[in-house]
């Protein structure tokens, strides 16, 4: 079924249509949350909260690009999560490192690079981090990014350029490249 029809049916309270939208966009929403927060459990929680917010806010959706609207809600949920956890920091047992089995050299270097990139992303200002994730991880166009970030395309390009430069500089300073 066409997305606009699914959205319209979901706006009218059709749970089956909303569930189809959730199935279609869950992975995308989770990926944004995971890259933004850097933790799987937190990303699960935020993704679930975002879809609850989408369901509750569907009646107020004024049309346009549903995917961008959804990603904006996920990004806002991530920001809210970070704000609340800065006030109440916790460390779970799940977050504690467990010694891994010795991986092959290629896998080990790939894992280390991924971890370094994630650490570098976490050091960026939220708006630059969001721009990089939406562009380089999720693959949105500048127009979709501008809609999701509620800013103009020039601002998107600026945040993306500055974020990439800062991430590159940090990775070089860590001797990753």
CB 16 within 8 A of CB 62: no
pLDDT at position 108 over 80? no
Identify the pLDDT of residue 177. 59
CATH code for residues 104-177: 1.10.10.10
- pLDDT tens, residue by residue, 17-35: 999 999 999 999 999 999 9
Q: Is there a shared CATH topology between the 1-91 domain and the 104-177 domain?
A: no
> In this structure, which CATH number among 3.40.50.2300, 1.10.1740.10, 1.10.357.10, 3.40.50.300 belongs to the domain 1-91?
1.10.1740.10
Tell me the DSSP string of 4-70. Answer: HHHHHHHHTT-HHHHHHHHHHHHHHHHHHHHHHH--HHHHHHHHHHHHHHHHHHGGG--SS-HHHHH
Residue 89 has pLDDT above 70, yes or no: no
| Residue range 101-123: mean pLDDT, rounded | 72
* pLDDT on residue 109: 67
- Whether the pLDDT of residue 107 is over 50: the answer is yes
Residue 2 has pLDDT above 50, yes or no: yes
Say how far apart CA 79 and CA 53 lie, in whole Å. Answer: 14
Mean pLDDT, to the nearest integer, of 71-89? 85
Each residue's pLDDT tens digit, 119-142: 999 899 999 999 999 999 889 999
pLDDT of residue 84: 87
Range of lowest pLDDT (51-55, 103-107, 124-128, 158-162): 103-107
Residue 90 has pLDDT above 60, yes or no: no
- Does this model's pTM top 0.75? My answer is no
What does the pLDDT look like over 139-168, one tens digit per residue? 999 999 999 999 999 999 999 999 999 999
d(CA 102, CA 153): 45
For the chain, what are the domain ranges? 1-91, 104-177
């Amino acid at each position: 079924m066409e997305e606009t029809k699914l959205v319209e049916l979901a706006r009218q309270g059709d749970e089956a249509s909303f569930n189809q939208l959730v199935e279609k966009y869950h992975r995308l929403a989770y990926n944004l949350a995971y890259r933004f927060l850097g933790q799987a459990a937190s990303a699960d929680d935020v993704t679930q909260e975002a879809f609850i917010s989408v369901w509750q806010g569907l009646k107020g959706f004024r049309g346009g690009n549903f995917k961008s609207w959804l990603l904006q809600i996920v990004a806002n949920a991530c920001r809210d999560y970070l704000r609340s956890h800065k006030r109440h920091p916790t460390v779970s047992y799940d977050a504690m490192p467990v010694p891994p089995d010795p991986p092959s050299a290629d896998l080990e270097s790939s894992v280390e690079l991924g971890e370094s990139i994630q650490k570098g992303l976490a050091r960026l200002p939220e708006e630059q981090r969001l721009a990089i994730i939406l562009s380089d991880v999720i693959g949105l166009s500048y127009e979709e990014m501008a809609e999701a970030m509620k800013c103009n395309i020039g601002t998107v390009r600026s945040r993306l350029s500055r974020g990439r430069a800062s991430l590159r500089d940090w990775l070089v300073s860590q001797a990753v490249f």
